[in-house]
Chains A and B, each alone.
Chain A
């Protein structure tokens, strides 16, 4: 199955609503609870990243018998140094984002920890794409 959700940049009142919908789908598909939690945490971190840093974005997902694939595409400032952004503790988040309990430079490392594959590509001034793959029977 395939799905897609719009994510508004800067709107913290809705941050997590797309991930919440997808989590419900994963539950309906009867995935193992530990697997659902890992995917939920990874996609929520990615969704919060869009809300925190981009103007707008979209989460596109595809689920088949083998894996859950999620792609987060945003229009935003992009990431200057992706390797640096992957390092724990590095963050460019605003004070507002920190007040929400995020922006400690833990997002991308935590996505990597909770997924089987993470791919980040970015163009400064245009936007960022984050692709997360989780194998269901892994």
Chain B
């Protein structure tokens, strides 16, 4: 599934520019614990999180995660967006809860990691 489909399904607003076209997603992981995110081995993953700080982006960079979906309207800062754009990531934000976002994507065939 492409990231534009993910933003459509979750009614999320894409915040990064120039990187949205071709990020393909098969899996999702929902967590605020970056240590846990760093243990994941799969690729093509969207991170669904409510943790809104620079380490969220750094963690995604190290773990080769190209798409982050922030729930509960946790809007990332400009600094986070700039770093994400530099790393070719797609950031999006939705008003829905992490549970709701996870459920919507699961329903559409996005797979759990575990």
Contacts and interface: CB of A to CB of B under 8 A. Distances in A.
A12 B34 CA distance: 14
Interface stretch (B3-11, B35-43, B103-111): B35-43
Contact of A13 (B37, B38, B54, B64): B54
B58 interface: yes
Interface residues of A, number: 24
A101 B54 contact: no
B61 interface: yes
Interface residues of B, number: 19
A79 interface: no
Interface string A13-42: 101100110010000000001000100110
A41 B58 contact: no
B67 to A, nearest CB: 16
Interface in B14-56: 32-39, 51, 53-56
Contacts, number: 68
B63 interface: yes
Given A45-B38, A101-B51, A16 B58 contact: yes
B62 A40 contact: yes
A106 B39 contact: yes
B59 interface: yes
B33 A104 contact: yes
Contacts of A20: 58, 61-62
A113 interface: yes
Interface of A: 12-13, 15-16, 19-20, 23, 33, 37, 40-41, 44-45, 48, 99-104, 106-107, 110, 113
Interface of B: 32-39, 51, 53-56, 58-59, 61-64
